[in-house]
Structure 1
Amino acid sequence: MWSFLGLLVLCSLVSPSQGGPKGFSHGILSIVSPATARKYVSSIFLRHELLQSHFLAIQFPDVPHKDKHPENWIKELHVVRVFTPSVSLELYEKVDSLVCIKTRFHLSGKFFFGKHFERIDIILDVDIKAEVRFDSYFAGGFHIRMQVCKSEFAIARIICPSHLLVNKVRPTVTTILAASFHKTVCTAVEVVINVSGVDFLHTANVFFSVGTVATMQYQLASLPLITSNYVALEFNMIIRTGGRYITLPVGAGSVSLPVLHHHGFCLGMSQASLDAILMVLIQIRVQEFISTPEVFSAASELTTAIASLLSHQKCPKCPLKAPLKITISLVGIRRIILEPKRAVIELSVEIALLAKGPSGSLVGLFVMKANLKLSVHASVFGGRLFFTTKLASLELLLVSSQVGPVNVSVLVKLMKLLIAETFVPQVNECLDVGIPLPPVLHIRWNYPAIHFTQGMLALCV
């Protein structure tokens, strides 16, 4: 039995003063407070009256009283109504947890009063405790077993044709319920646990489309980790793009989450996992354009700067007034640097400058490499994580030159403006697809707190 209760079995109180788990290597993990876990269990048990519907389906056998006398016969005993149950958890350190259910049943049946059967109604207070244990992780799921189930009932009221007959009915009802109530009620609870397990797996093992470039899958990576203060879940991430698969972790280092504080749930994504995602998301074709004011606001200044820079070369290829042709190519890896309270995306581009030669054909001048650092603003909307970037700094290097040595450092200011106007918008367009977030425990990603820590981005609600 795969179940979300495997997670909940593990939970123990999360202290606001305690930090998150350390030493994880899967790169994507979450921690859950016991209060959030309890709320989830209760909501699943009671959603669409799941628990009540299984209790209502209980049928008690038609069994005569032990002395076989027909006047003690009761038949067609069944559940008419289940009052809204209260569902809670008692959480333990290791692998056990106690699901506690309190409710009230309205039973109805027919009792033989000597000459004929008359309807009787029974109001029953019910207390159920089911001890559950999880094990056997496999391929994103695990088994959950109901180890022990105990049930107690107390007859609150019996309604008969005459109140004088209550004392006659009570012993028979008590005997029948003592013989069959425990088994039927615990069977219903076990079924609900199994049904609820499917729900949890649907929230933890999920597929998403990432625009048109990839599909992404979150999958439970192991059994939950339990401490005295939190329960943690690790995830694998599988990205499919262009017919190939990227599986995380890919040698991700040890990561840790910040404290929960007043939050009930935190999801952490390591630097390594975000690097892999950015490599997929940021796919930009080579940009080629003629440097005109309509495309680049400082086109004239750039043409003048290049002419001035190369005039001492006395090169017939060097532009004087003709606009330049520029190509910008994304090269190398894309990586994000996560530090306390800030994040920076690092990537590199090659900028090639071409000009018309004496024959009118385009001739390459030189190629520069620009190492970019983009400051990152993170936000969450519609269950997706979005990054918006701005150019923070640029390092300019000469890669090759057709016109001899060139001092490209004098072009840094113009290149920063060029990249900010032409390339950074392309990066933001790629990132506008967003990174899907797993809806673990049906968490709603409405205005989460976003924390940048060393090597980790954490989202807490």
Structure 2
Amino acid sequence: ITMLKLFGMFFFCGLLSPSQEVLSGLSCAVSPGAMQNVLSDAILQNGLLQQHLQGLVLPNIMGEGGLLNAPTSITGLHLVKVRLPRLSVVLLPGIGVQLTIAAKLELSGNCLVGLLSELIDILVDVNITANIKCTNFESGTVQVVIEDCLCILGAIKIKLLSGLLSLSVNEIVLNQLTATLPGLLCPVVDIVVNLVNIQLLGTLNAVIPVGTAGTIHYQLASLPFTSGLFLGLDLD
């Protein structure tokens, strides 16, 4: 665990150089690529996003459509799986980090068209963009806040065994998901980002025993800062 923490610090910091003002400190420049790799591992590869989205319940969908424009209702709609998630990072100078997650969401529920009830599967493309800012530095810790979160829906595919759904139902489903998904997905992204912040602080703030020589204690010395080229960290 000790070696993993040391590796985590050097991997996350990327380029290390002595601080100009504090001889015992380190100034770290983290490239966007390194930041993207760290966040992708923490959020996607470790299943953190899937874990917190699993079973997400969506509001019922009501409308007119299907065969002969019959009344249609979709109930019990929930998230089954996050497919093909991808993560990208852009540094916002003086602000923080812009995190973008693109994925296909697999939804499942029950569909009632007229008097016929059956299972319905929905696959929808989503693109979530969140601006993340660090604030409230105290004793080596920072809080992260999401100042803006934008969720855009793309292509949508609906699978119903009977094939009774019409294009009008596709439009009803897309309109309903466009209205409800952002309010459901953005809070989950906020939770996930804060959990990752705790994990990374556990790597950046640590006491490492060094055999019989004693210990090494390092922690954040100030708020992280961003330029167009790197995320800057000062460690004591």
Counterpart in the other structure of 2:94? 94
User: In proportion to residue count, which structure has more strand?
Assistant: 2
Give the CA deviation at 1:147.
0.5
Task: Show the counterpart of 2:209.
Answer: 209
Corresponding position of 2:85: 85
1:4-36 per-position Cα deviation (integer Å, ceiling 9, x unaligned):
xxxxxxxxxx9x9xx978734253212222211
Q: Which residue of 2 aligns with 1:55?
A: 53
CA distance in 2, matches of 1:20, 1:119: 59
Q: In structure 1, what is the equivalent of residue 20 of structure 2?
A: 23
SS of residue matched to 1:107: strand
Shift of 1:231: 2.9
Aligned Cα root-mean-square deviation (Å): 2.6
Amino acid at match of 1:55: L
Q: Is 2:127 the counterpart of 1:124? A: no
Give the structure 2 partner of residue 41 of structure 1: 39
SS, match of residue 72 in structure 1: strand
Inter-partner Cα distance in structure 1 for 2:118 and 2:225: 56
Q: Deviations over 1:299-346 (max 9, x none)?
A: xxxxxxxxxxxxxxxxxxxxxxxxxxxxxxxxxxxxxxxxxxxxxxxx
Q: Report the Cα offset of residue 48 of structure 1.
A: 2.3
Q: Is residue 208–residue 217 contact of structure 2 (8 Å, CA) maintained in 1? A: yes
The percent of aligned pairs where both chains have the same amino acid is 28
Cα gap change, 1:228 to 1:156, in 2 (>3 Å): closer
Q: How does 1:318-337 map to 2 (within 5 A)?
A: none
Distance 1:228 1:202, change over 3 A: same
Mapping 1:254-333, distance limit 5 Å: none
Shift of 1:170: 1.2
Paired residue type of 1:61: P
Higher relative contact order by CA 8 Å / sep ≥ 6: 1 or 2?
2
Partners in 2 of 1:144 and 1:207 — Cα distance? Answer: 23
Structure 1 segments of 4+ aligned residues over 6 angstroms from their partners: 19-22
AA aligned to 1:85 is P
CA contact (8 A) 1:21 1:232 kept: no
- Report SS of the residue matched to 1:102: strand
Other-structure match for 1:137: 137
Counting only pairs closer than 5 Å after superposition, residues 98-117 of structure 1 correspond to structure 2 as: 98-117=98-117
Distance 1:73 1:174, change over 3 A: same
Gaps of 5+ in 2: 1-13
Contact 2:110 2:118 in 1 (8 A): yes
CA distance in 2, matches of 1:54, 1:72: 30
Amino acid at match of 2:32: P
Q: In structure 2, how many angstroms separate the alpha carbons of the residues matched to 1:209 and 1:96?
A: 33
Match of 1:192?
192
CA distance in 2 between counterparts of 1:60 and 1:87 reads 24
The CA deviation at 1:200 is 0.4
* Secondary structure, aligned partner of 1:196: helix
Query: In the TM superposition, what is the alpha-carbon distance from 1:70 to its structure 2 partner?
Result: 9.0
Change in Cα spacing, 1:185 to 1:26, as seen in structure 2 (3 Å) is farther
Q: Which amino acid letter does the alignment assign opposite residue 25 of structure 1? A: V
SS in 2 for 1:217: strand
C-alpha spacing 1:111/1:23, structure 2 compared with 1 (3 Å): same
Stretches of structure 1 that go unaligned for 5 or more consecutive residues are: 1-13, 237-461
Instruction: Tell whether the 8 Å contact from 1:52 to 1:84 is kept in structure 2 after alignment.
Output: no
Distance of 1:20 and 1:192 partners within structure 2: 31
Contact 1:64–1:70 (8 Å) recurs in 2 = no
Deviation at 1:213, TM superposition (A): 5.0
- 2:180 maps to 180
Distance 1:157 1:83 in 2: 14
User: Residue 109 of structure 2 contacts residue 119 of structure 2 at CA under 8 Å; is this kept in 1?
Assistant: yes
Distance 1:228 1:110, change over 3 A: closer
Secondary structure at the aligned position of 2:43 is classed as: helix
Report the Cα distance in structure 2 between the residues aligned to 1:70 and 1:133, rounded to whole angstroms: 49
In structure 1, what is the equivalent of residue 6 of structure 2? none
Shift of 1:65: 3.9
Give the paired residue count: 218
In structure 2, the CA distance between the partners of 1:210 and 1:193, relative to structure 1 (3 Å rule), is same
In structure 2, C-alpha distance between the alignment counterparts of 1:227 and 1:130, rounded to whole Å? 18
In the aligned structure 1, how far is the partner of 2:52 from the partner of 2:120?
A: 22
Q: Within 1, Cα distance between the matches of 2:229 and 2:61?
A: 50
Q: Structure 1 residues 233, 96: CA separation in 2 closer, same or farther (over 3 Å shift)?
A: closer
CA distance in 1, matches of 2:70, 2:141: 52
Change over 3 Å in CA distance of 1:32–1:24 after alignment to 2: farther
Distance in 2, matches of 1:88 and 1:228, equals: 15
| Cross-structure match for 2:156 | 156
The Cα offsets for residues 118-146 of structure 1, whole Å up to 9 and x where unpaired, read as 11111111111011111111011111110
More helix by share: 2
